[in-house]
Amino acid sequence: MSRSPIYREAQVKLRDFIKSRGLGPGDRLPAEAVLAAELGVSRLSLREATRSLQTLGVIEAQHGNGLFVSSFSFRPLIEQLPYGLAVPGMALEEILTAREAMEVGLMPAVARGAGSEELAECARLAGQMAELEAAGKEITAVDRAFHLTLYKGLQNPLVDNLIELFWEIFVRLGDAIPAPVEGGRAAVHLRIVEALQSGEPLDAIQRMQEHFNDVRTRAAMLRDG
């Protein structure tokens, strides 16, 4: 049975070290020589392990100041997307299904926990979408801001990261999805906000589902065209 490369063993030991010491985002790691001795690995193996963990976003190097534990982020995964999405058409459908399940499923929680400020900002963004649509301009950036803002009131970093991840992937894969000639995407978003402001989770679920039904219909036009 072949053994893992030595640097991979060093990587596992370093992860275990961070966990066992209870280190969190922003905590500094010991100097290289000290850390290598602590883990029982060579400094060369440790160097390779730390480089790979930097790529994965587990730790970060601050020039002239050493190594630190990173904050959780999907950014390293996002940066690898061009290599992981070999079948764009299939990937778009998969991402749409996952995003739909998450956002529709979150509506009851948002109806319970969204603050009036977040919903007011979402209403403003929906109004901005309407202005852009009327002018025949692109609304993707505002649409994205709407969805990211919608869940801020939950104060759930995991949800925030997942929504951002889904959006990043979706924009990369779905930027060619045709917009409806008659517009109307702003109105769909505004109806979501109004349902949430009324505190009716079932209405909010229905409105968000309508939004994804529209996206799915337009995505099918891209696939079948």
- Are 143 and 185 in contact, with CB atoms under 8 Å apart? yes
Confidence at residue 191, expressed as pLDDT on a 0 to 100 scale: 93
In this structure, what is the dihedral angle of CA atoms 112, 105, 120, 124, given to the nearest 10 degrees?
-170
Confidence at residue 182, expressed as pLDDT on a 0 to 100 scale: 56
Confidence at residue 86, expressed as pLDDT on a 0 to 100 scale: 44
126/183 Cα distance (integer angstroms):
13
- Among 175, 34, 162, smallest CA distance to 106 is for 162
Confidence at residue 92, expressed as pLDDT on a 0 to 100 scale: 73
Confidence at residue 1, expressed as pLDDT on a 0 to 100 scale: 39
- Kindly state the average pLDDT of the residues 40-49: 91
| CB within 8 Å of 40: residues ≥ 6 apart | 13
Confidence at residue 58, expressed as pLDDT on a 0 to 100 scale: 86
- Kindly state the average pLDDT of the residues 48-63: 86
Binned at pLDDT 50, 70 and 90, residue 2 comes out as: very low
Residue 79 pLDDT more than 50?
Answer: yes
- Kindly state the average pLDDT of the residues 54-62: 84
Residue 26 pLDDT more than 80?
Answer: yes
Encode pLDDT of 167-225 as tens digits: 877 777 655 566 655 557 899 899 999 999 988 889 999 999 999 988 888 777 666 55
Encode pLDDT of 152-163 as tens digits: 988 888 888 888
Q: How many helices (H) and strands (E) does the chain have?
A: 11, 2
Residue 83 pLDDT more than 50?
Answer: no
